[in-house]
Amino acid sequence: MMQEGNWHSDAKWLDPKDLGKVLVIAPHQDDESLGCGGTIASLREYGLSVHVLFITDGSKSHPNSIKYPFKKLVSLREQESLNALGILGVGAKDVTFLRLPDGALPGSGEEGFGENAGLVSAVLKTIKPQTIFLPWQRDPHRDHRATWQITTEAIKQTDTKVGQLEYLIWLWERADDADLPKPEEVKVWKTDIESVKQKKKDAIKAHVSQTTQLIDDDPEGFTLSEEVLNHFDKSIEIFIERS
């Protein structure tokens, strides 16, 4: 487990009002609430535009469930994300689902990578964000790393300048030394989410399939443990900007 309080101890304060129009790119339905839910809520309270793009269909969280087969599970996770984003102030019209296969997202050089980057590029051209939130490049999850690679390629394809802030999901639990940000490669920022902390907690809880035993017929099913959730029960959110 990664030790907290070292590499990000000198994080500087970031004012969400300076971010302009924002696009949040999430590998799965719940990453948006965990990684930057408080900042999303703050942005919306300031009246700033936020669009959320979900990359995968979320279908691998409970792949063996009989009660929630593929289509039902995908539909459930999408509805949960809409419920969560509604709490944070983002309406359904500002949410896009790409529905790419969960757990098998191709990284750079793999089959389908360029096509998927093209899909994200099309969203960028439509939304025209000033700031993009995306997963940390070396997050210890295949889909999260692939999402970073796909997004980075999509930005190159659109040939536009856009701010990029990377949020942390599995770095707290699964990182080894090679995954951690290095001081010479990044700037570390933090946002104050104390005033919207409850909204973030409620949004995370809205992902019922990921936080409860709602789906109880898959021994290999995934739920977020209390230990994991505690990492996101803070009054700040941490973001990484590449130097």
Q: What's the half-sphere exposure (Cβ side, CA atoms, 13 Å) at 101?
A: 8
What does each C-alpha distance from 239 to 1, 10, 129, 164 come to in angstroms?
Answer: 19, 12, 17, 9
Structure confidence by residue, pLDDT tens digits, 66-123: 999 999 999 999 999 999 999 999 999 999 999 999 999 999 999 999 999 999 999 9
Give pTM, 2 decimals: 0.96
Domain boundaries, the chain: 12-242
Contact between residue 132 and residue 141 where contact means Cβ atoms under 8 Å apart: no
% residues pLDDT > 90 (the chain): 88
When pLDDT is averaged across residues 45-72 and rounded to a whole number, the result is 98
Structure confidence by residue, pLDDT tens digits, 176-204: 888 988 888 899 999 999 999 999 999 99
Structure confidence by residue, pLDDT tens digits, 148-183: 999 999 999 998 899 999 999 998 888 888 898 888
- Residue 158 phi/psi, 5-degree rounding, is -80, -20
Residue 2 has pLDDT above 70, yes or no: no
Residue 5 has pLDDT above 50, yes or no: no
12-242 topology per CATH: Rossmann fold (3.40.50)
